[in-house]
Structures are given as C-alpha cells and as structure tokens.
C-alpha cells in the first residue's frame, strides 16, 4: 500500500474482534519503527509500555472510563513522556554525537563541532528541560525575553511549555506507531479519556512521568468496529495558502 492507503485504513476502532489475534512481536516491531519519529532536539523523552497479558484488561478498562476500545482490545500500548530522564538522555546523545563527529566529520572541524554539542547537550538541554516549582521556567522566560530584544529566539520555554514540547514529540511517535500498525493491516485506537493518576499508579510510574495517550490494538470487528464514515471539516477551512 501507498501512504494514502495506510492513512485511509487507520481509523479509531472502538470494538475489536475477539477471534483474531496479533503477535506481540509484531506490535514490538511497530514500536521500534515509532522510535524513528522526529523528536525535539533528538531528546527522545518517551517510553512505550506494551501490555500483552489479558490480566491488565479489567484494571486498564476501568482507568480508561470503561471504553469498549480498551475492554475489547487484545493488547495495549501506553505512551509515556519521561521528561524526568532529560539528564541521562542528554548524556547519551552527547556521547553518541562525539563518536558520530569523530567518524563522519573532517578532522579540522571535529573539535569545534564537539564543543558545540557539549554546550547544547551538556548545558542548554539541562537548562531547558529542568523543572523546579516553575522557578526555572520563570528564569528561562526572563532570559529569552531579554535576548528577544536583539534577535529572534524560541520563546516557549516555561515549564508548562516545555512539558508540551515533550508531549508533542511523544505524540509524533504514537502516530508513527499507528501508521506502522496500519501497514501490517492491524487496527488501533488512541485514547485520551483516562484517569492519568490511576494509570500511573497501575504501572508504578515515577512522579516525573506523564501519560501521553493509551493506544489499544487489535483487529476491528467488521463494520461495527468503527463509527460509520470518517468526518473531516472541509479542507478549505483549514488550508491557507499565502
């Protein structure tokens, strides 16, 4: 199939078949493909929790407000943001970049490029992603407002705005996962209707983790698996060419 076919196949399936099964390794492979999604500054502040045991069904369905998309699914993937891991991820990427530059950059440019990465991942990323009762966000906002007097700057740097950045990157991974599932002929339903506190407790996640979305997986139950035709507002209402 071409991309358009994948996009047309992907629907938010509300009822899954209880007779057709999916190999967990197939879903794992789709999650590997999800890691190829773009992510802000390559920080990859995400975690994918793949639930395969049917014993999760009752508790997860309750946390998902008893949605049939959760109760009839065969497996589930919880997409989690891990902003609390910003230091370890920044160190990992910095180490990778040093080796990457050594292997692929001209020798006369390696020292300068490594120095830039050390500032970016060693200082800037910890400064941007750090959280401390909103105080760091206030300091960042004041800093960019002053810098913005003299040149263009990224202004969305408060703690709540950086949280949004992390969630956007995680959502891109989730969409990539759903398209990978569609390519295999499988179905999904991204759910945002859930009790996040209950889900975090159920999965024993740390305080610094957030639930981005829960995606149920399976094969749709015929035509009853989806809610009729797809509804989209007219393209002209969202498209603005200038």
Q: What is the DSSP string of 100-157?
A: HHHHHS-HHHHHHHHHHHHHIIIIIHHHHH--STTHHHHHHHHHHHHHTTTS------
Classify residue 130: in a domain, yes or no.
Answer: no
Residues 6+ apart with CB under 8 A from 116: none
Provide the number of structural domains found in the chain: 1
Classify residue 222: in a domain, yes or no.
Answer: yes
Classify residue 209: in a domain, yes or no.
Answer: yes
Classify residue 207: in a domain, yes or no.
Answer: yes
Classify residue 42: in a domain, yes or no.
Answer: yes
Phi/psi for 237 (5° steps) reads: -80, -15
* pLDDT value of position 25: 97
Classify residue 79: in a domain, yes or no.
Answer: yes
Tell me, what CATH number does 12's domain have? 3.40.109.10
Classify residue 55: in a domain, yes or no.
Answer: yes
Q: Which residues pair with 8 in a beta bridge?
A: none
Whole-model pTM over 0.75: yes
CB atoms within 10 A of CB 223: 7
Classify residue 93: in a domain, yes or no.
Answer: no
* pLDDT value of position 21: 86
88 by DSSP, 3-state: which? Answer: helix
Per-residue pLDDT of the chain (242 residues; tens, 9 = 90+): 589 999 999 999 999 999 888 999 999 999 999 999 999 999 999 999 999 999 999 999 999 999 999 999 999 999 999 999 999 999 999 999 999 999 999 999 999 999 999 999 999 999 999 999 899 999 999 999 999 999 999 999 999 999 999 999 999 999 999 999 999 999 999 999 999 999 999 999 999 999 999 999 999 998 888 888 999 999 999 999 99
12-34 CB burial, b ≥16 within 10 A, e <16: bbbbbbeeeebeeebbeebbeeb
* pLDDT value of position 183: 95
Query: Domain range spanning residue 25?
Result: 3-83+164-226
């Amino acid at each position: 199939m071409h991309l358009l076919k994948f996009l047309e196949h992907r629907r938010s399936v509300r009822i899954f078949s209880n007779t057709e099964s999916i190999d967990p390794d197939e879903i794992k492979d789709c999650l590997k493909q999800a890691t190829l999604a773009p992510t802000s500054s390559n920080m990859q502040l995400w975690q994918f929790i793949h639930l395969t045991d049917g014993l999760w069904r009752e508790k997860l369905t309750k946390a998902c407000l008893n949605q049939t998309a959760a109760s009839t699914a065969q497996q589930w993937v919880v997409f989690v943001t891990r902003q609390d891991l910003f230091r370890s991820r920044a160190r990992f990427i910095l180490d990778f970049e040093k080796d990457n530059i050594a292997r692929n950059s001209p020798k006369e440019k390696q020292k300068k490029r490594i120095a830039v990465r050390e500032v970016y991942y060693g200082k800037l990323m910890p400064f941007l992603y750090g959280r401390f009762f909103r105080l760091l966000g206030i300091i960042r906002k004041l800093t960019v407002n002053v810098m913005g007097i003299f040149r263009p700057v990224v202004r969305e740097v408060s703690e709540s705005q950086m949280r949004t950045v992390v969630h956007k990157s995680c959502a891109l991974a989730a969409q990539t996962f759903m398209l990978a599932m569609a390519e295999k002929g499988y179905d999904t339903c991204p759910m945002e209707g859930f009790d996040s506190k209950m889900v975090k407790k159920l999965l024993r996640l740390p305080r610094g983790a957030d639930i981005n979305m829960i995606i149920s997986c399976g094969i749709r139950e015929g035509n009853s698996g989806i809610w009729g035709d797809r509804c989209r507002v007219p393209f002209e209402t969202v498209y603005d060419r200038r």
